[in-house]
C-alpha cells in the first residue's frame, strides 16, 4: 500500500449506534476507504447504503452479512458472539483489527490472543482518549491513597446496553487491583442489598446504572472518614469513541503482529 493510498476499511456492527458514527466519521475524512459494512444475517438494514444509513453521503457500500474480498483494517463494535468470525476473517485477509466489543468471554479472548501472533490487533474496552487517561490514573491514585480509602466504581449507560458492569468499569477495577495488589476479581462486590451488607475492608464496589440515553459515565470514589475524592469521565457523544477507534485504526496500519491496547495507541505508558 503506497503512502498516499487510503486504507481499505470494513466496519462490523455497521447498523448499530457505534457503527453508524464510525461510518459517518470515516466517510468524511481522507484516511480510509469504506469497502464493507457488516451486520448479522437477517438484519433489517441489510441492503441499505451504509452512508445513507449513517446520515452522510451515499458510499455505494451496502450493509451486508458477508465480508468483502479484501481489507486493510477492520473495526468491530458488534456483539461478543460475532467476534470470532471477525477475527477469523482478519487472519485470512492479513488485515489489522480494532476490536471495541465489550462483554467478551474467555473463549473469545483466547481466540484474540492466538490471532495476535499473526495480525496486529487493538483490543480495548473503551476507545476514548479521556477514558484511557482515567484508566492510567485510577491505579496510580489508588496506590497513592492507600488502604484506608474505600473504593467504589459507578458506571452509567443507556437502557439498551446489554452487559453490566461495563467493560470499562472492569478495566478500572483491574488497574486498581494491580496497583494495590488486591486479588482480581475476588475483590469485587456487585451492588449491595439486605440487612447485613456492611462493606468489607479491601472490597471494590461495582455499580451499574441503565437509564434513558446516557452515553457513558464512569466514576471512581475514593473515600475515607473526613474526605472523598472522585475521578469521573463523561462521554458527551459516541463520537469520542468513534474518533478513538479511527485513531487506533490509523495507528495500526503497517504495525507488526501483536496485541495492543489504547495505551499503546495514545503513548500513555
Q: What DSSP designation does 68 have?
A: P
Q: Assess contact for 12 and 98: CB atoms under 8 A.
A: no
Residue in this structure with the C-alpha cell 507488526, named with its chain if needed:
256
Rounded to 5 degrees, what are φ and ψ at 124?
-145, 145
Q: Assess contact for 245 and 130: CB atoms under 8 A.
A: no
Distance CA 65, CA 68 (A): 10
Q: Tell me which residue of 265, 236, 240 sits closest to 252, measured CA to CA.
A: 265
The radius of gyration of the chain's CA atoms, rounded to the nearest angstrom, is: 20
Between the two ends of the chain, the Cα-to-Cα distance in Å is 30
Which residues are within 8 A (CB) of 181 and not within 5 positions of it... i.e. 6 or more apart? none
> Which residue numbers are catalytic?
157, 161
Distance CA 197, CA 181 (A): 24
Instruction: Report the SS3 class of residue 175.
Output: helix
Burial class (CB in 10 A: 0-12, 13-18, 19+), 137: middle
Q: Tell me which residue of 223, 269, 6, 264 sits closest to 120, measured CA to CA.
A: 264
Cell readout for 7 is: 486504507
Amino acid at each position: 500500500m503506497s503512502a498516499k493510498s487510503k486504507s481499505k476499511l470494513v466496519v462490523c456492527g455497521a447498523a448499530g449506534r457505534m457503527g453508524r458514527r464510525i461510518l459517518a466519521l470515516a466517510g468524511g475524512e481522507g484516511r480510509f476507504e469504506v469497502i464493507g459494512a457488516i451486520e448479522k444475517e437477517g438484519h433489517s438494514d441489510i441492503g441499505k447504503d451504509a452512508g445513507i444509513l449513517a446520515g452522510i453521503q451515499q458510499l455505494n457500500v451496502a450493509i451486508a452479512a458477508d465480508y468483502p474480498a479484501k481489507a486493510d483494517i477492520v473495526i468491530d463494535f458488534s456483539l461478543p458472539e460475532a467476534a470470532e468470525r471477525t477475527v477469523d476473517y482478519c487472519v485470512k485477509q492479513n488485515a489489522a483489527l480494532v476490536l471495541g466489543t465489550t462483554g467478551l468471554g474467555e473463549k473469545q479472548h483466547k481466540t484474540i490472543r492466538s490471532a495476535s501472533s499473526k495480525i496486529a490487533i487493538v483490543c480495548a474496552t473503551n476507545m476514548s482518549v479521556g477514558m484511557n487517561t482515567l484508566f492510567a490514573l485510577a491505579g496510580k491514585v489508588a496506590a497513592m491513597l492507600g488502604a484506608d480509602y474505600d473504593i467504589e466504581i459507578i458506571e452509567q449507560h443507556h437502557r439498551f446496553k446489554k452487559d453490566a458492569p461495563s467493560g470499562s468499569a472492569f478495566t478500572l477495577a483491574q488497574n486498581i487491583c494491580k496497583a494495590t495488589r488486591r486479588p482480581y476479581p475476588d475483590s469485587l462486590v456487585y451492588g449491595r442489598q439486605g440487612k447485613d451488607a456492611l462493606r468489607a475492608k479491601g472490597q471494590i464496589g461495582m455499580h451499574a446504572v441503565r437509564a434513558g440515553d446516557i452515553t457513558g459515565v464512569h466514576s471512581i470514589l475514593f473515600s475515607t472518614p473526613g474526605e472523598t475524592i472522585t475521578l469521573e469521565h463523561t462521554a458527551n457523544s459516541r463520537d469520542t469513541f468513534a474518533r478513538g477507534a479511527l485513531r487506533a485504526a490509523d495507528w495500526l496500519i503497517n504495525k507488526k503482529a501483536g496485541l495492543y491496547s489504547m495505551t499503546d495507541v495514545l503513548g500513555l505508558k
